[in-house]
Amino acid sequence: MVKTKRRHKNSFQGSKIDPRRFSRSQIKFYIILIPLAIFMILPVIMIISRAFMPLGELYAFPPHILAHNPTMTNFKNLFKLSSSTGVPMLRYLLNSVIVTVFTVLLNLIITILGAYTFAKKSFKGKAALFEINQLALMFVPTSVAIARYLVITKLNLTDTWLVHILPLAAMPVGLFLVKQFTDQIPNALIEAAVVDGARETLIIRKIIVPLIRPALATSVVLTFQQVWMATEASNNYTSTDTMRTLAYYLGSLSTNNAIAAAGITAAASVIMFIPNLIIFICMQSQVMNTMSHSGIK
């Protein structure tokens, strides 16, 4: 009986796939995964390719995946149009960079402190406050637009940087995600640090943050995407063009003549899409860890 178990164990170990070397047993995975990968990357290829298509190819049927006669005309027209307006496109770009950087940093600080407090502290009303955060996940931004507008006008925040930053400074989904990760940190680890004389700031900086880094990276990606593409503040709370963001400017290009502005819109879509792609590529390993890790061992 023991020999039979050992024989089965050895045969199982011998059949393990080495991911560093190609094996014929891996072919079945490639047959399934390669077509799926091509199908999933097609939208990315089309977004980039359409920015280099002439107007005739943009309206071709059936639509082209790749540009047959690539051209830079769309980008030239975009920058030519921006130079003819009172506010250059670089100003909108600078506004977006400033708003995105400060919002992501503030959101990260609030998320870390909130997740640590909800996960590792005991206080009256803790459950009720966390339930409110969970309920906030149910509401889309449009449903609270009027209430948000009233608050902003009462605080006299219109036409300021804060009107772009504060509405997105806290994201319920990010707090929930990071709090779930923080729950998995053993309390004994924090108690040992307290016994050694560590303060709260040191515990958060040296223990909490390194252990929840994958969840923080996911929160940063989600926050960046939402802030970078946001146009609500520029549309509703800002009347000065110099305070508006790049997403608002590029989104307003095709409002007058959608057909003539199709090439400009395609070029603008790439400009808005590339930063999202870059930040996801830079943090994809951490994001994947968030999805795969179920606990700290």
Q: How confident is the model at residue 109 (pLDDT cuts 50, 70, 90)?
A: very high
Amino acid, single-letter form, for residue 57: E
pLDDT at 108 over 90: yes
Per-residue pLDDT, 133: 86
**CA–CA distance, 290 with 116 (Å, rounded to integer):** 17
| pLDDT tens profile 235-290 | 888 888 888 888 888 877 765 555 567 788 888 888 888 888 888 888 777 766 66
Mean pLDDT of 107-112: 93
* Residue whose pair of structure tokens reads 């902003």 in the numeric block: 152
Q: How confident is the model at residue 234 (pLDDT cuts 50, 70, 90)?
A: confident
Q: Are 92 and 244 in contact, with CB atoms under 8 Å apart? A: yes
Q: 56-65, 152-161, 267-276 — which is least confidently predicted? A: 56-65
Q: How many residues does the chain have?
A: 297
Per-residue pLDDT, 294: 44
Q: Which residue has the higher pLDDT, 13 or 287?
A: 287
Per-residue pLDDT, 117: 92
Per-residue pLDDT, 289: 66
Mean pLDDT of 113-117: 92
Q: How confident is the model at residue 106 (pLDDT cuts 50, 70, 90)?
A: very high
Q: Are 208 and 116 in contact, with CB atoms under 8 Å apart? A: yes
pLDDT at 73 over 90: no
What 265-269 contacts at long range (C-beta under 8 Å, 24+ apart), as own/partner pairs, is 266/50, 266/51, 266/53, 266/58, 266/74, 267/51, 267/74, 267/75, 267/77, 267/78, 268/78, 269/47, 269/50, 269/51
Mean pLDDT of 22-39: 80
Q: Tell how far CA 141 is from the center of its chain.
A: 17
Q: Are 283 and 220 in contact, with CB atoms under 8 Å apart? A: yes
Instruction: Return the sign of the alpha-carbon dihedral for residues 96, 102, 104, 106.
Output: negative
Mean pLDDT of 169-193: 88
Could you give the domains of the chain?
27-71 (no CATH), 88-291 (1.10.3720.10)
pLDDT at 37 over 60: yes
pLDDT at 15 over 70: no
Cβ burial 22-50 (10 Å sphere, 16+ → b, else e):
eeeeeeeeeeeeeeeeeeeeeeeebbbbb
- For residue 220 the two structure tokens come to 């940063």
- Of 150, 147, 153, nearest in space to 239 by CA: 153
